[in-house]
Amino acid sequence: MKKIHLICNAHLDPVWLWRWEEGCTEALSTFRTAERFTDEFPGFTFNHNEAILYQWVKENEPDL
């Protein structure tokens, strides 16, 4: 069996592209999708480099 490695970029720049409320909504949507992928694809790993996005998840959807 062959392994496929995929490195993708979820480009989120929440306060540059949108007002912060819209940016927060986009970030939460991206994180929800990543969570579904971790359930669907064993070994899938998601990380992001913007700490504010993790804070928004913690504040707005702590179960996520």
Tokens 């929800």 identify what position?
32
What tokens were used for 41? 């694809």
Residue 23: exposed, middle, or buried by beta-carbon count in 10 A (0-12, 13-18, 19+)? buried
Per-residue pLDDT tens digits for 3-50 = 766 666 666 676 677 788 888 888 899 899 989 998 898 888 888 878
Residues 6+ apart with CB under 8 A from 32: 61, 64
CB 27 within 8 A of CB 53: yes
Higher pLDDT, 32 or 52: 32
